[in-house]
Amino acid sequence: MKIALLSGGSGKRLWPLSNDARSKQFLRMLMNERGEMESMVQRVWRQLQEAGLAGDACIATGKAQVDVLSSQLHGGIPIVVEPERRDTFPAIALLSTYLYSVAGTPLQEVVAVLPVDPYVEREFFGKVKELERLMDVSQADLALIGVKPAYPSEKYGYIVPKAKIASKGASGRGYEAVARFHEKPSEGEAERLIGQGALWNCGVFAFRLNYMIELLVRAGYPIQYDEMVKQYDRLPQISFDCEVVEKADNVIVTSYGGYWKDLGTWNTLTEEMSVRQIGKAICDRTENTHVINESDLLVAVIGVSNVVVAASPDGILVADKAASPKLKELLKNESQRPMFEERRWGTYKVLNRKTLDNGREAVTRLKRVRAGQSLSYHLHVSHQEYWTILSGSGEFVLNNKFSSVKEGQVLQIPAGSAHSVKAVTDLEWVEVQLGRRLAGEDTLRLFADWDDIVKHCRVN
């Protein structure tokens, strides 16, 4: 069996900690049994390893998440990069062509698709393994895991089985045929659905690889990975539920009665946070209040209960937990470039962004490259940079000339000059960018790998 993970979403739901470069699944806010903080992605990955499923896993994600995924999972998983963010049907189609034409997965192999951010117990992965056997015995096209509803929620999709699922556990054969689906019912409808044995759809789908490949062939889409990448924009922007699951004839569901939670909003996430305070914070006369402080500033909370206070270089949130699901709506008109990013080579944080006269702009950043890592060889068309090295040492290259750099040095990089640096020891500097158009489009990348940079510069 293959495990195909989907790492989607940008996410204003957990603003200001999540941003377009750092989706909620990468926030290290959960504590594992050894007392270490881990992100949702790291938790699921650890659970897959414990279940013996990690070796057969791959993951689909957007360009913006490749660096942080590599960094958080230590490069332990093949990453399939979506050429653009569309929806779950295109992403699963892309993954299927990868498995078929690149990884050489046999067509009869069962593929289980999992979102990367469910908060579940170990038992859940037992269910995932079981899907393979259920596909055999049921001869179904698709097998789903349905979560036993804890309450008549209005925000989930419901899977309605043909026979009522016994309340004490799965039926004897371990699965039921699916009659239909019901998306986001009212509370009253949800109660009726639960009476009929309906289960929450938690986004887990299993199919044999040939099922998807045949579906792609029939629909006239490529089944070779390279070709799929090229034609990715032809795929409809639609969910796998709508495009495949709801149209399929022969779908089964197996019920999972253990703990499952969608940590998508501050109120659900904080319920799972055993640590009440992360970062610099003091609380007084508070009850059930969480402070997650990723800024350098002290946060003081007095006499305010049932609230989440979150601070990061992107902003400050003070939200009543029950009202926190309104956050996404409230921020819908706010667009802001991320002030903190975790990259393949290290991290950066925006310290200040200032509009100057004549349309010029100044951005001051604290940048850190881990020992052994290097930036791409790149140039900026319209702005110059000034680096003041705070600590560490490295090899710097400017217009094909190499030099050593270390703490206390200042580097000036004129507009139009190609440059890179490789950290020998952890290298940290304050960078001032000065000029026009300081966003990404002012940057031209020449080479990504340090070895290529060295080769290129030796020749030129």
Q: Which listed residue (181, 259, 386, 402) binds a second copy by CB under 8 A?
A: 386
Among 109, 132, 407, 442, binds a second copy (CB under 8 A): 407
398 binds a second copy (CB under 8 A): no
Burial class (CB within 10 angstroms; exposed 0-12, middle 13-18, buried 19+) of 260: buried
Binding test (CB under 8 A) with a second copy, winner from 322, 404, 449, 455: 322
List Cα–Cα distances, 280 to 17, 28, 300, in angstroms.
15, 16, 9
Q: Give the integer Cα–Cα distance in Å for 20 and 335.
A: 10
Applying CB under 8 A, which part among 57-65, 164-172, 299-307, 396-404 lies near a second copy?
A: 299-307
Quote the least distance from Cβ 320 to a second copy, whole Å: 3
Which of 366, 371, 424, 448 touches a second copy by CB under 8 A?
366
Among 117, 141, 314, 342, binds a second copy (CB under 8 A): 314
DSSP 8-state code for residue 440: G
Out of 364, 393, 400, 443, the only residue in the binding site for a second copy (CB under 8 A) is 364
Give the DSSP per-residue string, 178-196.
EEEEEES--HHHHHHHHHT
Among 135, 198, 212, 317, which residue sits at the site for a second copy (rule: CB under 8 A)?
Answer: 317
Supply the minimum distance, in Å, between the C-beta of residue 182 and a second copy: 30
Whether the CA torsion 64, 67, 72, 75 is positive or negative: it is positive
Cβ at position 382, least distance to a second copy in Å: 13
- Interaction residues for a second copy, span 420-439 (CB under 8 A): 428, 430, 432, 434
Radius of gyration of the chain (CA): 25
Degrees to nearest 5, angle at CA 151 with 146 and 153 = 80
Assess 303 for contact with a second copy (CB under 8 A). yes
Q: What are phi and psi of 416, to 5 degrees?
A: 85, -5
Q: Which is it for strands 199-208 and 110-115: parallel, antiparallel or unpaired?
A: antiparallel
SS (H, E, C) 315-329: EEEEEECCCHHHHHH
Catalog residues that contact a second copy under the rule CB under 8 A: 15-16, 282, 284-285, 293, 295-304, 307, 309, 311, 313-320, 322-324, 326-327, 330-331, 334, 336, 351-354, 356-357, 360, 362, 364, 366, 384, 386, 388, 390-391, 407-408, 410, 412, 428, 430, 432, 434
